[in-house]
Structure 1
Amino acid sequence: MWFIVDDQMADDRRIRRLPLATVGLWVKLCVIHSKGVSMQAKDPAAYPGHFDKLDLKDAGGTMKQLQQLIDSGLMEEHDGGWRPVYAEGICKEPRTLTEEQREARRKAGSKGGRRKAANQKAKQPSSNLLANSQANGEQNSSETGSETSSNLLEDSQAKTWHKTDTYTDIPSPTPPAGKPKQTATPDAYAAIAEAYPGSAGAKGRKTDLEARGLVSAIAENPAQLARLQSAVRRYRRAVNDGQVPRRQIPRLNTWLRDQWETWAPEPITPTRPHKHTWNCEHVHQLMDSHEDEYDHTGSLREGKPSKWYLACQACADELNNQQETSKEKQ
């Protein structure tokens, strides 16, 4: 899946007002989110649909920079974490093909390939055609049968294996008729065991049963399950980076019983709601187009604010009132 940036992004006022380092962090976080969504399409347990404080730290960012992105309307809170906001003129939401679209494009690609082969064959001189026909006759006489459907599938895969699941002209191959694609979603334990860098023990044995029970207890709380998934990803990165020697990796049940919370990010506490001011981004979005309609003369220090300031402050008060009203309804 591609993260698509609009070619007018650099001219957008929201981007121009941000520090360059914050804009770079925004790009990295958007890429992390897009990659996670692409993984989630194949395995819903591979990515929770948002990034957390650990992902923010891995990207080299700070909470101050993240708050700048939230205030600019480029990030939003989601399910205990954060995710990008696809804003007009800045970035576009990536598209993923459905199974029907993949099938249609696969047929179109196969048809185009046959047409190309026929055109190339028509351009060959008559002497080459004769030699090819003789070679084909000798080969056909030595073969005992035609290609099976599995061989045809392998040929189509070889032509399209390098493609991704993104919006491309040539789609990924689909399984042959009679063998529907497996769509079963793995349970929480299977996803954790697969991501864990150590051993989970033989299925059905004491260590495996204990690990399953621990994951099941944690998964009863969605917030705790999200922390566990983050802890496994963090622990795996530490092992891959050499911070944790592989000889010291315990079995999964021992890690779940004694260590996982030390690798999990701290529970995210709700952030303080944004309070609108006369000069905040949200007020600018509403008032900048009317700036020429107001008189700017005046001094706030002398107690004589300009009409422009008063209008912006009134707009901020209205936004704050709407925010309080929506909270009361919830």
Structure 2
Amino acid sequence: MDVVSDAVASIRTGRPHAARTRRTAPWGLRFPAARGTGFHVVLQGRCRLLFAGCDPVPLGAGDVVLVPHGHEIALADSPDSKLVDVAPDMDDSWVPAPDTAGSADELTVLMCGSYQLDRAGAHPLLAELPAFVHLPQRVGGRTALDAVVDLLGAELDRRRPGTDAAIPALLDAMLLYILRTWYQDHAPRSAGGWAAALNDPAVGSALQHMHAEPATAWTVERLSRRAGLSRAAFSRRFTELVGRPPMAYLTWWRMTTAARILRGDDAPLQAVAERVGYSSEFAFNRAFKREFGVSPGTYRRQGAGRQDPARRDHRAPRPGAGYDRSPAVPNPVDP
């Protein structure tokens, strides 16, 4: 698997949800803070994205918004429209508000939904995403993301045999395409970080090797040879872009992979250890406990390790309550 796919798979839980809603002016929907990751697509018409501390962001047909850290946001035809809370369901999916009637010229069609993710120990690639990601529709050409959005819209508009299986698969694909589009085309690279790491030939190659073969006995020397750099130059560049030295990242990723295996099946601990590069179960137990604060066996017994007290919480701080409708703060994430 590649790094982006691994980052999503490492915290995936439950099933994603999506629903269409049709609104006519005036209207406003407030989506409360949630544990999952929200997304919103404008299928038809126009609206404004309202987020605490930012100017209202104009959205048009084809625009996609991802809210990776579950912050509260609102969508409305105008910044001055009254906002109606969208109630979360038992599984943190949103119960769509009833469609409103009105002129076709004022109609806005939205597709809104959420992904259920376990944020404990989230991959830093996801943790460094901004509070919201706005991907405007590209002018002059279709993209794979547009195609997935079209397919999802068609499935939600008219249920047919296989729709129940198609929608979760399409939602998974859409999340990956959103992340790919962001990191390839919109994320700032000048200051380093994961956008720069994924696009750096040497560091990107090393990351792919670690993720594809976590059980391999990688060393800095071996990875630097694969990257075509000296040991010192490779180690310096990797640490600069990824935020931790190569072997520290490898150990972290092995433990994250082990945790995913422990959540997903009942393989013996020795087998889990070998799958992430440890021939000794004792050494594996020690490394796992150093990362998670509990042994692998305890982690498994505690209900798939949903509480990881020893891991650093990478989530971005929540914004303040309310919506600042004045142009006080420029939007830091709208490309």
TM-score (norm 1): 0.23
Which structure shows the bigger proportion of residues in helix conformation?
1
Which structure shows the bigger proportion of residues in strand conformation?
2
Compare relative contact order (CA 8 Å, sep 6+) and give the higher one, 1 or 2.
2
Larger radius of gyration: 1
